[in-house]
Amino acid sequence: MSPIDNFIDIESGDYVVHADHGIGRYLGVERIKIDKTYVEHLVIEYSGKDRLFVSFADLDKIQKYLGFEKRLPKLHKLGSKLWKAAKDRAKKGVYKIAVELLELQAKRRALQGHAFGPDTEWQSDLEESFPYTQTPDQAKAAIEVKKDMEAPRPMDRLLCGDVGYGKTEVAIRAAFKAAMGNKQVAILVPTTILAEQHYNTFSSRMKDFPVRVEMLSRFRTDAEQLCIIKGVADGSVDIVIGTHRLLSGDMVFKDLGLLIIDEEQRFGVKHKEHLKKMRFSVDILTLTATPIPRTLYLALMGGRDISVINTPPSERLPVETRVVHYDEELIRDSILREKRRGGQIFFVHNRIAGIGKIAERIAALVPGVSVVVAHGRMPEKHLEETMIKFIDGEIDCLVSTTIIESGIDIPNANTIIINRADAFGLSELYQLRGRVGRFTRAAYAYLLVPKNMVLSSESERRLTAIKKFQELGSGFKLAMEDLQIRGAGNLLGTEQHGYINAVGFDMYCRLLKSAIDSFKVVK
């Protein structure tokens, strides 16, 4: 079941799409007497206050409505021909994009990539050294990735998994397999902090093997960068991890075989164009927690292969999320409580101007707690030293901007306080919350909003959504919720965009899949 099919996500008042009757509003469940027996039915309201009662046997005909615009859809009228006409128009419209997707697949399958050999004995040794209990989804994803790598066509696989669900471990195994096949690996990440963390993780896991891992970012001096670039060019560097610096013109690989992209949506248009050209020559593995709709859409439709890690690590607990007014007493109590149990705290304040004063105020509230500032405009060495101290547990409370948003993994940090949470996007809040709760200890996220401020409707919806989706594995649901809140722009062209708004994203995907299948039958 895909996340956009999940009926459990539908609540009373939501717009839904019935395959036979079109767009209506879900009102809840009512019991109807049928032959002396009361049977529960779903109730959908249509235009003119007409009601449709749907038995649970027909549940597969209903999906939550998801369009690409902020404005709400119009309800259809039961018995009218408007829904059939809208669906027929969309069906005709999908043929063009179905052909494009099939052509893309055909091109990829026709290209000759590098077929890696079977796993070596060292591969088994590396995988057995994984310090945690492997989940079934992790194991399945790793097998799918390695199978792709052994195929003669270039891999283009999307690996989706919630924050902390083990995507990095799958990437480590893929990178090691490539290195054992005498190919180089590039790992592209959106931030220098994440590059540093990945470098430490990959280096630690591969320290007992003849694999040279390097990191290229602004944490390296000019001389160090030149040395690494030379090593990449002559082949002495097996795995290089870095930010968009890896896409610079002076980067020349001797024999690149695998590119791993962490959170592709964080890169700009120029970088994505560069990456697009690489898809036809090397194996690509893309990691994401909250896929952008177009990426998810292409994967679901067969334009890209997809692996999903849904199983949470054993003993992982959901993060308790609270939306509260700015309250210094609450800030003090939450920091001291985490400190008392030997943990660490993130305090996120996403404005460099004034972040020092915020840190001073927090330090005054909690005497005896070490409070340090971190942000992207600090000198590289100072920032690196600060982050290493926090990772090593030498700092109790890190007051930072959103530089901690992507990937940073500190199991001992289990309280995060986000100031002016109303000013953040939903995916940002989700990623920030994912910095805590990565261990078996209960974790807390406090989303602070100003007192006596009237929040915009969008801010209220974002905060309601992040609080609502506290359970483990909510990344897909929040990605879709975010799409509803902010709209998605024109992802697929004006014509296709209109069809999606007319029938809903899920129905559009079903029509497109049907079109693709029909073309395959014809072929």
Between helix 457-468 and helix 475-486 the angle, nearest 10°, is: 170
Range with the poorest average pLDDT among 103-107, 161-165, 458-462, 500-504: 103-107
Buried b (16+ CB within 10 A) or exposed e, 234-268: eeebbbbbbbbbbbeeebebeebbbbbbbbbbbbe
pLDDT on residue 132: 86
Range with the poorest average pLDDT among 9-23, 411-425, 475-489: 475-489
More confident site: 219 or 347: 347
Give pLDDT tens digits for 90-114: 888 888 877 877 776 677 677 778 9
Mean pLDDT, the chain, as a whole number? Answer: 85
Question: Does residue 280 sit in helix, strand or coil?
Answer: coil
Most confident among 66-80, 285-299, 474-488 (mean pLDDT): 66-80
Contact between residue 195 and residue 219 where contact means Cβ atoms under 8 Å apart: yes
pLDDT-based confidence at 193, cuts 50/70/90?
Answer: confident
pLDDT on residue 7: 45
Give pLDDT tens digits for 225-256: 999 999 999 999 999 999 888 888 888 999 99
Residue 462 dihedral angles phi and psi, to the nearest 5°:
-65, -45
Q: Which two tokens stand for residue 63?
A: 């999906």
* H or E segment and range at residue 123: helix 121-128
pLDDT-based confidence at 272, cuts 50/70/90?
Answer: low
* H or E segment and range at residue 260: strand 256-262
Q: What's the whole-model pTM score?
A: 0.73
More confident site: 470 or 317: 317
pLDDT of residue 326 exceeding 80, the answer is: yes
pLDDT-based confidence at 475, cuts 50/70/90?
Answer: low
pLDDT on residue 297: 57
Distance of CA 430 to the CA centre of its chain: 9
Burial class (CB in 10 A: 0-12, 13-18, 19+), 179: buried
pLDDT of residue 491 exceeding 80, the answer is: no
Question: Does residue 208 sit in helix, strand or coil?
Answer: coil
* H or E segment and range at residue 448: strand 443-449
pLDDT on residue 174: 98
pLDDT on residue 107: 73
End-to-end CA distance of the chain: 28
pLDDT on residue 161: 82
Say which DSSP state 155 is in. P
Separation CA 269–CA 77 (nearest Å):
42
Separation CA 127–CA 113 (nearest Å):
25
Q: Which two tokens stand for residue 292?
A: 């952008």
Range with the poorest average pLDDT among 24-33, 108-117, 135-144, 370-379: 108-117
Mean pLDDT score, 183-210: 92
3-class SS shares of the chain: helix, strand, coil, % to 5: 45, 20, 35
* Cα separations in angstroms, 410 against 143, 271, 380: 28, 29, 20
pLDDT on residue 472: 58
Q: Which two tokens stand for residue 350?
A: 């996403």
Nearest residue to 335 via CA among 470, 447, 446: 446
Q: Which two tokens stand for residue 269?
A: 């248009």
Q: Which residue has the tokens 């209960």?
A: 442
Mean pLDDT score, 467-478: 63
The alpha helices in 133-166, defined as continuous H runs, are 136-150
pLDDT-based confidence at 4, cuts 50/70/90?
Answer: very low
Task: Report the largest interatomic distance among the alpha carbons of the chain, rounded to a whole angstrom.
Answer: 84
Strands (E), 189-266: 213-216, 239-242, 256-262
Separation CA 79–CA 88 (nearest Å):
16
The alpha helices in 279-325, defined as continuous H runs, are 293-300
Contact between residue 12 and residue 27 where contact means Cβ atoms under 8 Å apart: yes
Contact between residue 235 and residue 254 where contact means Cβ atoms under 8 Å apart: yes
Contact between residue 230 and residue 250 where contact means Cβ atoms under 8 Å apart: no
Give pLDDT tens digits for 113-135: 899 999 999 999 999 999 888 99
Separation CA 418–CA 402 (nearest Å):
10
Kindly state the percentage of the chain with pLDDT values over 90. 46
Question: Does residue 273 sit in helix, strand or coil?
Answer: helix
pLDDT on residue 113: 83
Between helix 494-503 and helix 505-522 the angle, nearest 10°, is: 110
Separation CA 293–CA 492 (nearest Å):
11
371 DSSP β-pair partners: 397
Nearest residue to 446 via CA among 428, 420, 476: 420
Give the chain's length: 523
Q: Which two tokens stand for residue 202?
A: 């990959």
pLDDT on residue 103: 77
Mean pLDDT score, 438-466: 84
The alpha helices in 447-523, defined as continuous H runs, are 457-468, 475-486, 494-503, 505-522
pLDDT on residue 8: 45
Separation CA 505–CA 499 (nearest Å):
9
pLDDT-based confidence at 1, cuts 50/70/90?
Answer: very low
Kindly state the percentage of the chain with pLDDT values over 70. 84
pLDDT of residue 356 exceeding 90, the answer is: yes
pLDDT-based confidence at 292, cuts 50/70/90?
Answer: low
Give pLDDT tens digits for 135-167: 999 999 999 999 999 999 889 898 988 777 889
pLDDT on residue 98: 79
* H or E segment and range at residue 232: helix 222-234
Separation CA 188–CA 231 (nearest Å):
17
pLDDT-based confidence at 2, cuts 50/70/90?
Answer: very low
